[in-house]
Chains A and B, each alone.
Chain A
Amino acid sequence: MSEHLRDPTSETTSTQRPRREPLATFAERTVALLDIGKMRGDEFVDRLETNFASLGIGTRRYRKPTNARVAPPDLIQQITLECHAVVLALSD
């Protein structure tokens, strides 16, 4: 059964959890390309890598051990330390 909480704030913001602000610029920023481990994910990431490179945007590649589970914490922490944005390759 879903639970309902009462808002403890002055209710000046949306009831939806705010999204993270998108990057204002890609200059000196690195984008993580995360292959979640589904079939042909590598092809999709290859294409993304090429396109980002053509725009002069740095990328790093990562891969989940399996698409059946959430990314392990050490992978998430590594991406957090090394990159500023993530593209998930939800390919099939």
Chain B
Amino acid sequence: MKNINATVSPMPETRFVAVVKRECETSVMVAPVLTALAQHVPLEVWSQDDPAFPPGVDTRDDRSLEMSFRLDIETVPTLIRLRGDDEEGRTVGWLRDAWSDLVGRPVGDDLPDMRPGCGSRSREPGVHEQLVARYGRPGLTSRTIDVDDWADPHEVAFDRGWTDGLPVVPPTDGRIVRMLTGTTRSPDEVIGAMPPNLAPCTVEKVAINAVMAGCRPEYLPVVLAAVEAALDPLFTMHGLLCTTCFSSPIVVVNGPITRAIGMNSGMNALGQGNRANATIGRALQLAVRNVGGGIPGELDRSTLGGPGKYTFCFAEDESHPDWMPLSVARGVDPDTNAVTLFQGDGVQGFIDQRSRTPEELTRSLAMSLAAVGHPKLAEFTNALLVLSPEHHGIFAAAGWDRERIERELNAALVRPGADLVQGAQGVGEGITPGREGEQVAKFWPDGLLIARAGGEAGLYSAICAGWTGGRFRDESKPVTREIIP
């Protein structure tokens, strides 16, 4: 039994309310029935699109859709019988027997037995959430910021320091409520303490920042998983934010959700142009900025920064049957949605259009990977290698799987310590003196991550250097998290 808001005019005990719209053929068909019914019973007719429809009835204007929202109308026409303010029954669309039973007399004898109704305007995409914000209880607890009548909300966001330098979508209640439909998680759930200020970060705060970043609701679970991964102490988000280095979180997304939300794992996967890639990474950055207070020039102390600090997110191409996705390599079940956050810099291009064997390509890749951070540094940073389909194809044709590629690359990256120690080769930078007699690996055994992505054409891959925090092997690591719906 639904209780109707007191804005419905007081009526005799039993009364009827109908909701219609002119653009609905079934509503037009039942209009004569409503006109006739109004002669015999107390009847309010609310029209969603034309206050002059139906003719011959004292129609109420519901173009605001407030009454449709309060009556929870999903289909028009809907006829409701009320006693006082209590609903006794309703019928949707046209069912002659149901209408006749509801009004207690035969109606519509000249009409067909049934006709389906039409969708209510109050249930069109995005409308219901706007109505919740306007007439309902959106259930949001973040404080409101009033924007003056003549102020531009985009400028307000800039003035308040909420943006990364690019415009943001103003976070209105309607947009936030709609964003929250993308997750089953409660808005007040605390995900963790966001550095550097260690402020409690709730699902609602993430949703607000996702709105501002331009996300669609179906991206929100990915954003939430990315925030969760960033807040894992092992990810050392505080240090990553405060560092003088270039690094920021790089988000690699795996699983069926990447196809479902249209992420780009192919041509230009690391570049611009895909809404999901661009806004998921940006939402994470905005949450760090706004919830955590990570502001450049304040606690964000990067010497030069990098374009990845706006956004850096892509999906892995899992289409090759022999390729083990990054998430699976890191312990997640196959076909499970997951994010991996890597503390990394921008893209260092790797060009090799001549190598044709896996051995050649391994040696070639090792030469470029050795330059990560500095050619003479070792066990100092991690690295993310984004292997293009054509380069991967050389390995795959020889039967090399992920495990073999990683093993061979790491082996090719073992170098004589005498060449790497500080001062060697006339360069001050290098590994600690005293290791001249060792054979030194470039990366820790788990420090080289490989993802497969990119367009089908091009013997180019990408190397993302890791953050220098990677030298503390057990204290700072990439983090993988399953995505919760």
Does B172 contact A7, Cβ atoms closer than 8 Å? no
Are B144 and A10 in contact, CB atoms less than 8 angstroms apart? no
The answer to whether B162 has its CB under 8 Å from any CB of chain A is yes
When distances are taken between beta carbons in the complex, the residues of chain A under 8 Å from B142 are: 6-8, 11
Instruction: Report the minimum CB–CB distance from A59 to chain B (whole Å).
Output: 28
Q: How many residues of A contact B (CB 8 A)?
A: 14
Q: What is the count of residue pairs linking A and B with beta-carbon distances less than 8 angstroms?
A: 72
Interface centre among A2, A4, A10 (most CB of B within 10 A): A10
The binding surface of chain A is classed by DSSP as loop
Query: In A1-19, which residues have CB < 8 Å from any B CB?
Result: 1-12, 15, 17
Task: Assess whether B173 is in contact with A6, with CB atoms less than 8 Å apart.
Answer: yes
| A91 → B minimal CB distance (Å) | 26
In the complex, what residues of A have CB within 8 A of residue B293's CB? 9-10, 12
In contact, A3 and B170 (Cβ under 8 angstroms): yes
Distance, CA A10 to CA B171, complexed state (A): 15
Question: Given the complex of chains A and B, what is the CA–CA distance between A18 and B332 in angstroms?
Answer: 46
Residue with the greatest number of chain B CB neighbours at <10 A, chosen from A4, A5, A8: A8
Q: Which 3 A-B pairs have the closest CB atoms?
A: A10-B199, A8-B290, A3-B147
Contacts of B137 in A (CB 8 A): none
The B268-294 residues at the A interface (CB cut-off 8 A) are 286, 290-293
Look across to chain A and name the residue whose beta carbon is closest to the beta carbon of B156. Answer: A5
Q: Does B353 make an interface contact (CB < 8 A)?
A: no
Set of chain B residues within 8 Å of A17, measured between Cβ atoms = 159-160
Q: Contact check: which of A5, A9, A12, A15 meets B172 at CB < 8 Å? A: A5
- Are A6 and B208 in touch, CB under 8 angstroms? yes
**Interchain CB contact under 8 A, A8 and B159:** no
A5 touches B153 (CB 8 A): yes
| B149 interfacial by beta-carbon distance below 8 Å | yes
The contact of B144 among A1, A6, A12, by CB within 8 Å, is A6
The answer to whether A2 touches B208 (Cβ under 8 A) is no
Contacts of A11 in B (CB 8 A): 142-143
B80 within 8 A of A: no
With a cutoff of 8 Å between Cβ atoms, the chain A residues found around residue B200 in the complex are: 10
The verdict on A8 contacting B162 (CB below 8 Å), with A3-B153, A3-B170, A3-B172 known, is yes
A40 to chain B, nearest CB (A): 30
Q: Which residue of B147, B149, B292 is within 8 Å of A5 (Cβ)?
A: B147
CA distance A17 to B148 in the complex (A): 13
- Which single member of A3, A6, A12, A15 contacts B197 (CB below 8 Å)? A12
